[in-house]
Amino acid sequence: MSFEDLGLEPSILKAVSEAGYSEPTPIQRAAIPEAIRGRDVLGIAQTGTGKTASFTLPMIQRLSKGRARARMPRSLVLAPTRELAAQVADNFEKYGKYQKLSMALLIGGVSFADQDAKLTRGVDVLIATPGRLLDHFERGRLLLTGIEVMVVDEADRMLDMGFIPDIERIFKLTPITRQTLFFSATMPPEIQRITDQFLHDPARIEVAPPATAAATISQHILRLETKADNVKRAGLRKLLDTEGVKNGIIFCNRKSTVDIVAKSLQKHGYNARPIHGDLAQAFRMETLEKFRSGETKFLVASDVAARGLDIPDVSHVFNFDVPVHAEDYVHRIGRTGRAGRQGTAFMLVTPADGKQYDAILKMLGVKEIDALNIKVDVEPREQRSRADERPRREERGERGRGRRRTRPDREPSSSTREKNAAAPAGDRERPRKNAEPRRRKEESEDVVGLGDHVPAFLLR
């Protein structure tokens, strides 16, 4: 089946083909014709399945006819984080380039006044995080009675973040005649209740998660005799030099390690840039764009910074550190081998990683991961005596009883993780002592904010 068979208009098909997509994904195949017919859709699909286009394409088609009225947007897309909202906006930009649709983005980091001016002029598409949307609504700057299509994206993530009451409220502010396109990776009872209440005879479309790790990712480890960082860096370079490495993400457990590894790689002539939550938003956005465009070959990342980023086409994932939590291993390696392509994941394993490595094997249900037979030589200038190592580690608070549980340069500890389990991804970057009210939190929730990156349509 091709995109032509889905009932889309030529101008949209042209934009899709220019985006480089020749075949619809399973969710697109099933959802687009139903949505074009005007039916509600309940899509049970996770990121990576092509779900975003499965709602943006039919929306563009529907909205291409008709005109927006002042303060009464014609459609609404709710996303849990501003990063996701910005990605949806990019999709509308990409596929809607031959339509004259107006858009506004109500998310933290984007000027309130500018978006308000757009709302006043009238918008076809309003993309928002729930809290920001209600802020505008409560200020009387917005009416939701003109909504023809409403999308809820990543509903289960909204549930985790405590947005469900907001979602219910927003549903009630929109007309009952609206078309609803609702997406969630899982269907916990609370989400089921919402869909039972607000969707009308939806087409329920469930698609398998994108190819499982085992099928498309070849996994290997490189055993090192010591956990010394200089040896690990030398080991990493060996891995980066292996055949077929087109680009990759290098995962480290700590932000400080991300910085050190990125600097070291740059010094050794590798095209690498760091990404973690303590770096300026503008820098993170620039890094992502350079990585997406291929200008930057290696992204050195922390787990939290990498979560939620849509980065296609990664040939390799490198685990510089064995992740502390086994489930992070699956998230990390899931960055390669997407959409049925072949990917490779490497991990450095030192004698100190025994417990964490065993937990990964257990989770994968395997006895061993293929161990590479690569010899790692450390250049003399990189060698450091044990005596040199010790004070450095103590400086970083890694040894002895005085070790702090949470350090500013660390990813959250497991206790912090539990505490923040319900917090937005970006908030998990650092332990929060006094949680701010949710509305405000949402403004800093994204992992990579817009910073200087303002989607082109906002500048028009």
Catalog residues that contact ligand AMP under the rule CB under 6 A: 21, 23-25, 28, 47-53, 310, 312, 339
Are the C-beta atoms of residues 71 and 230 closer than 8 Å to each other? no
Q: Please, which residues have CB within 8 angstroms of residue 55's CB and are 6 or more apart in sequence?
A: 31, 35, 41, 43, 77, 151, 153, 181, 183
Q: Which is nearer to ligand AMP, 57 or 305 (CB)?
A: 57
Which of 405, 434, 450 shows the shortest CA–CA distance to 127? Answer: 450
Smallest gap from residue 22 Cβ to ligand AMP (A): 7
Question: Mapped to the 3 state alphabet, what secondary structure does 421-447 carry?
Answer: CCCCHHHHHCCCCCCCCHHHHHCCCCC
- Of the pair 119, 450, the CB lying nearest ligand AMP is at 450
**In terms of CB distance, is 109 or 308 closer to ligand AMP?**
308
d(CA 236, CA 226): 14
> Minimum distance from CB of 23 to ligand AMP (Å)?
6
In angstroms, give the least distance from the CB of 50 to ligand AMP: 3
**Minimal distance, residue 169 CB to ligand AMP, in Å:** 26
Residues 73 and 127: their CA atoms lie apart, in Å, by 10
Q: Which is nearer to ligand AMP, 253 or 336 (CB)?
A: 336
Q: What is the DSSP string of 278-328?
A: TS-HHHHHHHHHHHHHTS--EEEE-HHHHTT-----B-EEEESS--SSHHH
Beta bridge partners of 175: none
| 225, 219 contact by CB (below 8 A) | no
Least CB distance to ligand AMP at residue 310 (A): 5
Helix or strand or coil: residue 347? strand
Buried b / exposed e over 317-346, threshold 16 CB at 10 Å, is: bbbbbbbbbbebbbebbbbbbbeeeebbbb
Nearer to ligand AMP, 50 or 343 (CB): 50
Question: What is the nearest approach in angstroms of ligand AMP to the Cβ of residue 229?
Answer: 34
| Closer residue to ligand AMP in complex, CB, 25/216 | 25
Closer residue to ligand AMP in complex, CB, 55/329 = 55
Which residue is closest to ligand AMP by CB? 52
Closer of 34 and 229 to ligand AMP (Cβ): 34
Going by the DSSP 8-state scheme, the letter that residue 378 receives in this structure is: P
Q: Over the Cα atoms of the chain, what is R_g?
A: 23
Q: 52 vs 416, which CB is nearer to ligand AMP?
A: 52
CB of 79: closest distance to ligand AMP in angstroms? 11
The total of other beta-carbon atoms located within 10 Å of residue 122's CB is 17
Residue 388 CB, shortest distance to ligand AMP, in Å, is 45
| Shortest distance, position 32 Cβ to ligand AMP, whole Å | 10
